[in-house]
């Protein structure tokens, strides 16, 4: 994603000697996102993506890297971590934990149509089924505990109306925290910029570094809140039905999930409103960084509080 840590071709060439992926031909920073440093890396053996982790500690990373390897082995089109000559996925580069993964084909879709949403729903259902056999354990790092902590940091920057909305939604979510829903590894950030389309088909699903164990329905809600909304934040029913119908063909929704759907749509909107507020008001310095507009997800949250599309 954004470039926070600079890596020179000379530094990377020396680091790549630990791998059997050829010699360095090209290095290009990826100027999108806000969490990690990413580069496209071209070698004599092909194209890869180098990630240097800016927030996550080395001890936290095996969950994510092993999950990606597990999903890739089960046919999900996600980046596969490359092991070094010591059979390790994780190394250190310029003082940061670092990994290199396969580079998948395609580009993000800025204005998805019904067919795109249908493919995203089908892929997400398949991903949840494939992830069910993954043994790693890590609670969603951007779950309710993080919501409360982030809220304390951003509240001083908000006007009275937005502080009231935030407090009200945190209270509402606290009242529904005991929902008993099917759980497992979730991507938790399945936005348009994290799905690559190669022509008319999905070429890859990327950026698993917000993944964790949570309700599968939360993952579905995150996707609907990005893939199936108009600029005002309202759900586009045609696109949403395409995504949800395709998902349920892979994994049927339970009665509890159907009842909890409005709550999870609001939870997904709250999580991203908070993260965008945090990154907007408390940014980190970076060479190529940008923060998303938090108002977009405020509008989505208010729209979900007013109405939601039934999960039938």
pLDDT digits (tens, 9 = 90+) for 117-174: 999 999 999 999 999 999 999 999 999 999 999 999 999 999 999 999 999 999 999 9
For the CA atoms of 155, 157, 158, 159, the dihedral, rounded to the nearest 10 degrees, stands at 130
Whole-angstrom distance, CA of residue 211 vs CA of residue 189? 8
Residue spans of the domains in the chain: they are 9-102, 114-306
pLDDT recorded at residue 283: 86
- The yes-or-no verdict on residue 287 having pLDDT over 70 is no
Contact assessment for residue 210 and residue 185, using Cβ atoms and an 8 Å cutoff: no
CATH entry, 114-306, from 3.90.1200.10, 3.40.47.10, 3.40.50.300, 1.10.540.10: 3.90.1200.10
Helix (H) or strand (E) segment spanning residue 49: strand 46-52
- Mean pLDDT for the stretch of residues 85-99: 96
- The yes-or-no verdict on residue 1 having pLDDT over 60 is no
- Summarize pLDDT for 208-262 with one digit per residue, the tens: 999 999 999 999 999 999 999 998 999 999 999 999 999 999 999 999 999 999 9
Contact assessment for residue 194 and residue 205, using Cβ atoms and an 8 Å cutoff: yes
- The yes-or-no verdict on residue 311 having pLDDT over 90 is no
Encoded tokens for 56: 């996550």
Q: Which of 34, 91, 86, 96 is nearest to 62 (CA)?
A: 91
Class of domain 9-102: alpha beta
**Which pTM value belongs to this model?**
0.93
Q: What is the DSSP string of 212-259?
A: EEEEHHHHHHHHHHHHTB-TTS-B-HHHHHHHHHHHHHHSPPPHHHHH
Contact assessment for residue 258 and residue 132, using Cβ atoms and an 8 Å cutoff: no
How many other CB atoms sit within 10 Å of the CB of residue 94?
A: 14
How many other CB atoms sit within 10 Å of the CB of residue 150?
A: 20
Whether 114-306 and 9-102 are alike in CATH topology: the answer is no
Place 309 in a pLDDT band, splitting at 50, 70 and 90. Answer: confident
């Amino acid at each position: 994603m954004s470039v926070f840590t600079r890596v020179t071709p000379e530094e990377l060439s020396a680091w790549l000697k630990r791998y059997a992926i050829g010699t360095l031909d090209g290095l290009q920073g990826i100027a999108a996102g806000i969490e990690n440093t990413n580069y496209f890396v071209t070698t004599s053996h092909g194209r890869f993506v180098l990630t240097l982790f800016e927030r996550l500690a080395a001890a936290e990373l095996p969950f994510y890297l092993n999950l990606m390897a597990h999903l890739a082995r089960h046919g999900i089109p996600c980046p596969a971590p490359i092991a070094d000559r010591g059979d390790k996925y994780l190394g250190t580069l310029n003082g940061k934990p670092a990994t290199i993964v396969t580079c998948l084909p395609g580009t993000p879709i800025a204005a998805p149509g019904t067919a795109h949403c249908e493919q995203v729903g089908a892929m997400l259902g398949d991903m949840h089924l494939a992830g069910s056999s993954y043994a790693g354990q890590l609670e969603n790092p951007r779950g309710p505990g993080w919501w409360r902590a982030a809220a304390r940091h951003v509240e001083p920057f908000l006007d009275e109306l937005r502080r009231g909305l935030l407090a009200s939604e945190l209270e509402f979510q606290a009242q529904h925290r005991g929902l008993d829903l099917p759980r497992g590894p979730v991507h938790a950030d399945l936005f348009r910029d994290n799905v690559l389309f190669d022509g008319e088909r999905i070429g890859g699903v990327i950026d698993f570094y917000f993944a964790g164990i949570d309700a599968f329905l939360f993952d579905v809600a995150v996707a609907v809140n990005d893939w199936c909304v108009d600029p005002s934040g309202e759900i586009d029913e045609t696109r949403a039905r395409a995504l949800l119908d395709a998902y349920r063909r892979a994994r049927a929704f339970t009665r509890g999930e159907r009842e909890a759907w409005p709550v999870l749509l609001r939870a997904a909107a709250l999580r991203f409103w908070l993260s965008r507020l945090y990154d907007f008001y408390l940014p980190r310095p970076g060479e190529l960084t940008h923060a998303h507009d938090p108002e977009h997800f405020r509008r989505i949250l208010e729209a979900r509080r007013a109405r939601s599309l039934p999960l039938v």
